[in-house]
Amino acid sequence: MSTRIDARLWAADERTTVIGGEWQGGDGDQIEVAEKATGEPLLIMREASLEQLDRAVAAAKAAQPGWAARPADVRAGVLRRAADLLEQHHDEVVEWIVRESGSVPAKAHAAEYLQALDEFREAADLAERTVARPLPPHGEDASVAERVPYGVVGVITPWNVPFTLAMRTVAPALALGNAIVLKPDHQTPVSGAVLIGRLLEEAGLPAGVFNAVPGQGPSVGSALVTHPDVSMVSFTGSTAVGRTIATLAAPYLKKVALELGGKNPHVVLDDADIEGAAAAGAWGNFTHQGQVCMAIGRHVIAAPVLEDYAAELARWARGLRVGDPFREDVELGPLINARQADRVMALIEDAVAQGAELLAGGERRGNFVQPTVLKGVTPAMRAYAEEVFGPVAVVVAAADDEDAVRIANDTEYGLSASVHSASPERAEAVADRIVSGMVHINGQTINDNAWAPMGGTKASGSGGRFGGESNADMFTYTRWRTVRKDADRGHFVARPAVP
Ligand code: NAD
């Protein structure tokens, strides 16, 4: 078997749509995919048409029962081979992610390549350990709770962590016997779908089990959500679009998993190690230019240590280098597009106009925004409530622990949180009262791996969890199966009437 994935060839030929094992150009509108740091085109492609989407769903529907019927170790074997192939293609995968999404190589390596390896291998193990659970028989010969794949899973993913966020659904959903139709964001179709399709194809996944339909959200994306043969939708993206997806899917009563935005509090109590808390705060806020759902959205700092913390955070902000992550040695690359850079600058200007103190940054060169620290942010400012999705630290003063809890919860979101204190017990007492899907004591908010339950509450998600055992609940339903040798004759006392 060849071990080449050559995404470059597929992308150059504009073959970014995969239907039933066939790579083809899209029949829809033309899309230019730019290198985010330079604005130069990486590829010009066409999005999949609605007719191609129909064919992709039909291919998935036809291939799924045969795939689900394969023994678990065969499904696991395909995923393990895909992981081995990914190891061989580290450099190609990292380069695509860096150039297509504007990630620095360290993020592309750790948060995408390494995590995707773990996602493949954990999913393979999950396939093998997900077995029917015996139940006490009640008159039957056998009674079990078995796991059944949903069928065709439609996957819609964002551009910020395009490879991993697709992989964390694709790998476990496949492992458990589902087929996939994946719609990556139109700004990252290669990292978000082509690379994954090529790895799975070379690993021996049967044709039709994985399909990809790159395209725009409102056209291809919404048609995928409402397609009657798509039995589950796994969506990762903004809360605004998540609400649209939930509304579109509602009449079909299909399973919908929503992983959405955040405004994650980083709480620092008055006895915390300020230098350590600020280092965690800088990492949690500025990683990937702040374009991470779990990024720190608010630094909630006890008033007595506010000045020291903010000064230390500003020192971090001034020390981080910003530039082209493919050609320069930098910690931060560009924002995804000009519209997002405009929005981030507008949030900074609004805060400063209303009295926030600019301790660092605040400048922009093209789509590159300097790491920025805003002190004294109040609820009247947009940056207090809105998810920034940029390298902007929003520092808010808290009078005491009670006030810190109030500020941490003063948001519609509930994804991740962190709390710093010299006393882990005191930090945990605060953490217990923060409403969030994840919380890290003396850590920071960006934390994810293939085993831990990842997901949000409130407006950050619909309650499901990715990772480890949670993936079995996410990508299968449980069916109760009983078996008898002789007919169950029921319990009527009367007899059938004499003819
Ligand atoms: P987005 O919601 O704009 O787009 C996400 C995906 O949805 C894209 O593929 C897009 O094409 C598609 N889409 C857009 N409109 C659609 C529609 N009407 N119907 C169907 N699909 C549609 O989000 P984004 O800007 O790409 O990503 C950033 C957002 O994602 C942030 O809010 C971030 O917090 C969130 N996010 C959440 C997680 C998580 O795990 N909770 C992870 C990463 C990103």
Q: Which of 293, 312, 331, 387 is flagged as catalytic?
A: 293
What SS3 class is residue 321? coil
Q: Is 293 a catalytic residue?
A: yes
Q: What is the model's pLDDT at position 1?
A: 38
Q: Which atom of ligand 1 is nearest to the CA of 293?
A: 34
Counting from 1 in the atom list of ligand 1, the atom nearest the Cα of 186 is 11
| Mean pLDDT of the region 118-124 | 98
pLDDT in tens, 34-72: 999 999 999 999 999 999 999 999 999 999 999 999 999
Q: Is the CB of 185 under 6 A from ligand 1?
A: yes
> Tokens 């190609």 appear where?
92
Quote helix, strand, coil % in the chain, to nearest 5.
40, 20, 40
Q: Does ligand 1 have an atom closer than 6 angstroms to the CB of 225?
A: yes
Write b or e for each residue in 141-154: b if 16 or more Cβ atoms lie within 10 A of its Cβ, otherwise e.
Answer: eebbeebebbbbbb
Q: Which of 146, 180, 161, 46 has the alpha carbon at shortest distance from 113?
A: 161
- Mean pLDDT, range 142-155, rounded to an integer: 98
Smallest CA separation from ligand 1 atom 35, residue: 237
Quote the radius of gyration of the chain (alpha carbons, Å): 24
Q: Are 166 and 154 in contact (CB under 8 A)?
A: no
Give the whole-angstrom CA distance, residue 292 versus residue 400: 28
Q: CB of 120 within 8 A of CB of 77?
A: no
Q: What is the mean pLDDT of the chain?
A: 96
The amino acid that residue 470 corresponds to is S
Residues in the chain: 499
pLDDT at 10 over 80: no
Q: Which of 16, 36, 185 to mutate to test the pocket of ligand 1 (most atoms within 8 A of CB)?
A: 185
The answer on pLDDT for 465 being more than 50 is yes
CA of 393 to the centre of ligand 1 (A): 22
Three-class secondary structure of residue 264 per DSSP = strand
Q: How far is CA 409 from the centre of its chain?
A: 23
Residues 6+ away with beta carbon under 8 Å from 345? 364, 369
Catalytic residue among 259, 312, 331, 387: 259
Question: Ligand 1: distance of its center to the CA of 193 in Å?
Answer: 15
**pLDDT value at residue 14:** 84
Tell me the per-residue pLDDT of 223-261, one tens digit each, with 9 for 90 and over: 999 999 999 999 999 999 999 999 999 999 999 999 999
Q: What is the pTM of this model?
A: 0.97
**Residues 117, 93, 111, 455, CA torsion sign:** negative
Q: Which of 238, 285, 466, 470 to mutate to test the pocket of ligand 1 (most atoms within 8 A of CB)?
A: 238
Q: Is the pLDDT of residue 8 over 80?
A: no
Residue 211 CA to ligand 1 centre (angstroms): 20
**Nearest atom (ligand 1) to Cα of 466:** 40
Asked if 149 contacts 476 with a C-beta cutoff of 8 angstroms, the reply is yes
> Which residue's entry shows tokens 């790491």?
371
119 is catalytic: no
Confidence of residue 2 (pLDDT cuts 50, 70, 90): very low
How far does the centroid of ligand 1 lie from the alpha carbon of residue 237, in Å? 2
Dist. CA 464 → ligand 1 center (Å)? 17
Instruction: Rounding to the nearest 10 degrees, give the CA dihedral for residues 443, 448, 453, 456.
Output: 80
pLDDT of 4: 59
Q: Report the distance separating Cα 347 and Cα 342, nearest Å.
A: 9
Q: Is 299 helix (H, G, I), strand (E, B) or coil?
A: strand
Q: In this model, does residue 309 exceed pLDDT 90?
A: yes
Phi, then psi, of 238 in degrees rounded to 5: -75, 155
Assess whether the C-beta atom of 241 lies below 6 angstroms from ligand 1. Answer: yes
Q: Is the CB of 339 under 6 A from ligand 1?
A: no
Q: What is the pLDDT of residue 11?
A: 72
Dump pLDDT digits (tens) for 333-347: 999 999 999 999 999
Q: What is the Cα–Cα distance from 462 to 258, expressed in whole angstroms?
A: 5
Residue 374 CB–ligand 1 contact under 6 Å: no
| pLDDT one-digit tens code per residue, 376-432 | 999 999 999 999 999 999 999 999 999 999 999 999 999 999 999 999 999 999 999
Q: Per-residue pLDDT averaged across 169-174, rounded?
A: 98
Angle at which helices 162-175 and 90-101 pack, to 10 degrees? 130
Helices vs. strands in the chain: H and E counts, helices first? 18, 23
The pLDDT value given to residue 463 = 82
236 lines ligand 1 (CB under 6 A): yes
From 29, 161, 241, 260, give the residue whose CB has the most ligand 1 atoms within 8 Å, as the site to mutate: 241
CA–CA separation, 439 vs 427, rounded Å?
A: 11
- Exposure class string for 276-315: b at 16+ Cβ within 10 A, else e: ebbebbbbbbbbbbbbbbbbbbbbbbbeebbeebbebbbe
Whether the CB-CB separation of 463 and 455 falls below 8 Å is answered with yes
238 lines ligand 1 (CB under 6 A): yes
- Please report the domains of the chain, with CATH numbers, ordered by start residue: 7-260+461-482 (3.40.605.10), 264-441 (3.40.309.10)
Partners of 466 in beta bridges: 454
